[in-house]
């Protein structure tokens, strides 16, 4: 039978170093993402929303949950992206009372260009072998419970 983890024990030095390194990776990724978004005259929030919508249309409520913000903030972001022709509002085919936001062709192209332009993905990760990238991916999936 599994026992609860002892959360009162201090993490070992290796674990602390890994946590610090993860923090540095996250900071570099965010800086690169913000820069790539700015090059397309997008805020980080607009870029993230557009990236989500490039995968599938989503209701505003679901977007707010994924972005961890208020639905009214999502409405403003969608308004600005819609004005630029990157997003459109549609009726949800499963429930005509619900509106979903969807990326336009231009929005999907912009989201793809944004992903492809991230130096973070090309530089540090490209320096790892395929085997190392697979091991890193698998370890991260395990950490996230996927």
27-86 pLDDT tens trace? 988 999 999 999 999 999 999 999 999 999 999 999 999 999 998 899 999 999 999 999
* Residues 13-34 as b or e (16 or more Cβ within 10 Å = b): eeeeeeeeeeeeeeeeeeebbe
pLDDT of residue 4: 55
The percent of residues above 70 in pLDDT, for the chain, comes to 94
Angle, to 10 degrees, between the axis of helix 60-67 and the axis of helix 71-83? Answer: 110
User: Is the Cβ–Cβ distance between 105 and 97 less than 8 Å?
Assistant: no
- First-to-last alpha carbon distance for the chain, in angstroms, is 23
The percent of residues above 90 in pLDDT, for the chain, comes to 69
User: Is the Cβ–Cβ distance between 60 and 21 less than 8 Å?
Assistant: no
pLDDT of residue 68: 92
C-alpha span between 78 and 28 (Å, rounded): 27
pTM above 0.85, yes or no: no
pLDDT of residue 139: 93
User: Is the Cβ–Cβ distance between 54 and 107 less than 8 Å?
Assistant: yes
13 alpha carbon, distance to own chain's centre: 30
C-alpha span between 146 and 46 (Å, rounded): 27
Q: Please give the C-alpha separations between residue 69 and each of 31, 74, 104, in angstroms, as whole numbers.
A: 20, 7, 23
* pLDDT reading at 126 higher than 90: no
């Amino acid at each position: 039978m599994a026992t609860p983890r002892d959360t009162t024990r201090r993490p070992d030095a290796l674990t602390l170093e890994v946590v610090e390194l993860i923090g540095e990776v996250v900071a570099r990724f965010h800086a690169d993402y913000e820069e790539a978004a700015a090059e397309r005259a997008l805020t980080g929030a607009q870029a993230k929303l557009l990236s989500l919508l490039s995968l599938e249309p989503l209701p505003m409520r679901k977007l707010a949950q994924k972005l961890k913000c208020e639905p009214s903030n999502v409405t403003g972001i969608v308004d600005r992206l819609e004005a630029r022709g990157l997003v459109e509002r549609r009726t949800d085919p499963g429930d005509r009372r619900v509106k979903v936001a969807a990326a336009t062709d231009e929005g999907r192209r912009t989201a793809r260009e944004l992903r492809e332009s991230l130096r973070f993905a090309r530089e540090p990760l490209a320096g790892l072998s395929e085997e190392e990238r697979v091991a890193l991916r698998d370890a991260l999936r395990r950490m996230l419970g996927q």
